[in-house]
Amino acid sequence: MDTIPIWAFYFAAAVVGLELGGLATIFIQRWIDEEPICKPGGSKCPACNARLSWRDTIPLISFLLLRGRCRHCGEPIGPQYMLVELSCLAWSLASAYTYGLSPEWGVYLVLGIMLITGSFIDFETFLLPDRITLGGTAMALAASFVLRTGPTWQDAFLGAAVGAGLFWAVQQLYRLWRKREGLGTGDVKLMAMIGAMTGLAGLPPTILVGSLTGALGALYYMIRPGKGGIRGRVPYGPFLSLGCMLYLLYGPQILHWWRF
């Protein structure tokens, strides 16, 4: 960082975040549409299926210039694309501020983008792709062997096992008690990924934040028409992901408050 101006690093982080956000939108749409993630041919309009040129797919800029509409048919594209890209931009800058130009920034940047991607898919489909949860778990465990900060490899494996095991137990107990599903298996796999990222010490504050924000989310789903009220389904993955990402940014402060 001594040889690179700080403004240049943050500018690069912003560009990287937007580019990864653009890739995240492609992954989200293709996964939801059950299309091959790496299929050739580029992006297309979800309304008219017209192929989009490079100038139509510049992260954030194209959406603003086109005012959120397809150049070919004029149909609204939807704000979720911009929200994904803005979320990835914000995460890239926040993690850059926390970790600086380091391997930790690169690893947690990618893992955070994966959490954001999975969260938007969960909001839309109430599912979490194995490519994100299991792939993220493998990446976090592998990174624990080489990163200087964060959990040790022993703590990462323990965090993954305890996180997944705890939520698996909750899932089974709820199934026995209510005779129906109350917690998805995707959330169990997600907790393996989160536990590997935060270690054992990061699980309690992550789950606490996820529970508190999830309760606020449940209120939204309760008043949203046509979704079954409070008995309707509420995606839990995005709120757990938020707790994990806040822990990655403010872990020492959170643990200090937690122990105090």
Q: What is the pLDDT of residue 111?
A: 97
Residue 241 counted as domain residue: yes
Residue 134 counted as domain residue: no
For residue range 185-229, list pLDDT tens digits in order: 999 999 999 999 999 999 999 999 999 998 888 787 777 655 544
Residue 99 counted as domain residue: no
For residue range 116-171, list pLDDT tens digits in order: 999 999 999 999 999 999 999 999 999 999 998 889 999 999 999 999 999 999 99
Residue 186 counted as domain residue: yes
- Looking at the DSSP bridge assignments, the partners of residue 102 are none
Residue 10 counted as domain residue: no
Backbone angles phi, psi at 76, to 5 degrees: -60, 135
Domain count, the chain: 1
Range of the domain at 217: 146-260
Cα angle, residue 107 at apex, residues 32 and 97 outer, rounded to 5°: 105
Residue 219 counted as domain residue: yes
Residue 60 counted as domain residue: no
For residue range 68-118, list pLDDT tens digits in order: 676 667 666 777 888 999 999 999 999 999 999 999 999 999 999 999 999
